[in-house]
Amino acid sequence: MKGRFFSKLKDYNYIIDQLLEKKSFKQDVKNLLLSMLYKVETSYDDYSKIKRNNVSKSDFIENVIIKAISENCNYIYLVNPKDEEKEILEKQKVPAMTNEREKKIYAYPTEIALLYGLSDIRPKFFFIGDKYNYIRRPFQNMLVEGSNLNNTEVIRNFNGWSWNNDTDIKINNTYNCMYQTLMLLFGHVFLELWEKDYSREKRLCVRDKSKNGRGI
């Protein structure tokens, strides 16, 4: 209880501002990151009441935003929508691309794109055993993209009063729908643990008569 109380008193704007001082990001990148944080903080409480099946605001900011900036990202390049570089993002149909090894993010100059990039650059494993090798790659692709879309939902679809699905025409709605279905079935805690798991075989949402009809 004490930890929760003090977590609410954290000034995340100050924390990120101090963190950005140690990074070599350009000023426009720093300003956009702070603007993104403001939108997340402003919307998250009301968003959480509607979504319900999600992590706390403090966990989201600390694990998706602060940790990604601190440990996984050393360079952020904002792609001008008028430059030829945008073709790379358009081809992949994503608002941001990442290079985890070099800790780089290439993103459109928007808060949503930056949040997507920070979510994407975080290590994600979603371990699937050899028994399901035939679905491993496409299923993991869905889980990774679904996680990114879920993490950007707070500012992509929620404006503080209502849901806005107009912008969803540019996202992978199939992956998003599949991921949200898994979240409804198993909860966000299961998916968070699975995302971090790279060594233990996880149970998939399938039926096996040899297991008395239980998930395996």
* 205 is a domain residue: no
Closest CA to 63 of 124, 104, 17: 124
List Cβ neighbours of 168 (8 Å cut-off, separation of 6 or more): 156, 157, 176
As for how many domains the chain has, the answer is 1
What is the side-by-side order of every strand in the sheet holding 75-78? 75-78, 104-107, 96-99
Give mean pLDDT, residues 9-28.
90
Closest CA to 43 of 122, 119, 156, 120: 156
Give mean pLDDT, residues 151-180.
80
Token pair of 27, please? 């000023």
- Note if the pTM is more than 0.85: no
Write out the residue range of the structural domain in which residue 126 sits: 2-196
Determine the Cα–Cα distance for residues 138 and 169; give it in Å rounded to an integer. 21
- Residue 146, pLDDT > 70, answer yes
* 209 is a domain residue: no
The pLDDT of residue 162 is 66
